[in-house]
Amino acid sequence: MTSRRDIVKELVSKCLQARDMAYCPYSRFPVGAAILTADGAIITGCNVENASYGLTVCAERTAIQRAVVEGHRQFTAIAVTCDIKDHFVGPCGACRQVLMEVRRRFYDRHEHYAVIRK
Ligand SMILES: O=c1ccn([C@H]2C[C@H](O)[C@@H](CO)O2)c(=O)[nH]1
Ligand SMILES: [Zn+2]
CATH of the domain at 20: 3.40.140.10
Q: What band does 76 get if pLDDT is binned at 50, 70 and 90? A: confident
Asked whether residue 115 is domain-assigned, the answer is no
- Sheet of strand 42-46: strand arrangement: 42-46, 32-37, 75-81
d(CA 34, CA 64): 9
What ligand is nearest to the CA atom of residue 48?
A: 1
Which residue from 40, 31, 32 is spatially nearest to 8, judged by alpha carbons?
40
Asked whether residue 62 is domain-assigned, the answer is yes
Domain housing 59? 4-108
Span 25-53, pLDDT tens digits: 999 999 999 999 989 999 999 999 999 99
Distance from CA of residue 34 to its chain's centroid? 4
Which residue from 101, 46, 48 is spatially nearest to 75, judged by alpha carbons?
101
Asked whether residue 77 is domain-assigned, the answer is yes
Asked whether residue 57 is domain-assigned, the answer is yes
| Higher pLDDT among residues 77 and 61, named by residue | 61
Structural domains of the chain, count: 1
Asked whether residue 61 is domain-assigned, the answer is yes
Q: Using a 6 Å CB cutoff, which residues line ligand 1?
A: 24, 27, 29, 31, 47, 49, 56, 58-60, 80, 89, 91-92, 95
Q: Whose CA is nearest to atom 4 of ligand 1?
A: 58
d(CA 35, CA 15): 8
Asked whether residue 116 is domain-assigned, the answer is no
